[in-house]
Amino acid sequence: MLLVTDERFLGHRAGSRHPEQPARLNAVWDGLESAGVHDALVRVEPRMAGVDELLAVHPATHLDRLEEVDAAGGGRIDADTVMNDASWTAARLAAGAGLVAVEALRAGVADAAFCAVRPPGHHATRTESMGFCLLNNVAVTATALAGAGQRVAIVDVDAHHGNGTQDVFYDDDRVLFVSCHQWPLYPGTGAADEVGTGAGAGTTVNVPVPPGTAGDDYRYAMDALVVPVLERFAPDWLLVSAGFDAHRSDPLTDLGLTSGDYADLMATLAGLVPGGRLVVFLEGGYDLDALSDSAGASVAALLGVDHRPEGASGSAGTEPGRLVDDLARRHGVA
């Protein structure tokens, strides 16, 4: 398995009290070590996404603003999103990580890739940086693949809705976007009736689940909705926005997953595309122990290794099953 990561990601700092800390990346690396899969990882450095690759997703005005903040040595983008003097380098490396992964997978270097990057990206819309995200990392890779004639599916399992990714592909039938997320929660988007528009009508699938939703309910959503939708779309590539903040210990959310549940989700997703066509991107996850365990369990599952620091969780008394069944009928896979 390919591991795309870099020490330079540690230089991005949004403030000493900010949830998105460099320690998150160290926790991920520690989790991979604890999972005992180090010998199966092929580590490669990312490259900075080129201007044309970024312009395919973000307009020049957006990039110009980030460059201006960088030239000033950093600054606040919004209430949650901050740059320092290393952030612009880290953001361009994070945006280029998936491109490096695709190149290596096409060359047969590995069967899948995990991009352990920061800052995260799935809240960055075409025109706005927000929610700790400067550039939309997964969208840069998906756009490059779609531009090369590939059908791309993106599955976002972060507890927060991937509003930025949805924004980029809402009218694009070349890219299927599926998001399972807590509702209500920041950023307030991702309702079940947000399904795409124009040519992209039906290629956005939102699964907004209530607080307390645990592993059994996520597995049901995968089996009854997500897998059938992806199988019908028949993607050439699957990209996963892997936010580990749906873990029951995360301080910013109220869901009930465990690291064992993440292992199950990743194993299911890995079976939906041929080898060499899966790229996973690190998004959220703000309890360091939970992040470490969940990342380790997920990468191990992608390698076919059963590493579970915690067991899978059962239902927490919520009832998202009816929602999933309704969504399956809405999207024609019931």
Contacts of 251 (CB under 8 A, 6+ apart): 19, 286, 287
Neighbours of 274 (CB within 10 A): 11
Q: DSSP labels for 129-186?
A: -BTTBSS-HHHHHHHHHHHTT--EEEEE-SSS--HHHHHHHTT-TTEEEEEEEESS-T
For residues 301 and 265, give the distance between their C-alpha atoms in angstroms, rounded to a whole number.
9
User: Hey, what are 19's tokens?
Assistant: 């949830």
* Dihedral angle computed from the Cα positions of residues 255, 312, 138 and 143, in that order, rounded to the nearest 10 degrees: -110
User: Three-class SS of residue 324?
Assistant: helix
Q: At what angle do helices 288-302 and 23-34 cross, to 10 degrees?
A: 50
Annotated active-site residue in 123, 161, 181, 247 = 123
Active-site residue, 181 included: no
Q: Residues 120, 284: contact at Cβ < 8 Å?
A: yes
Q: Could you list the active site residues? A: 123
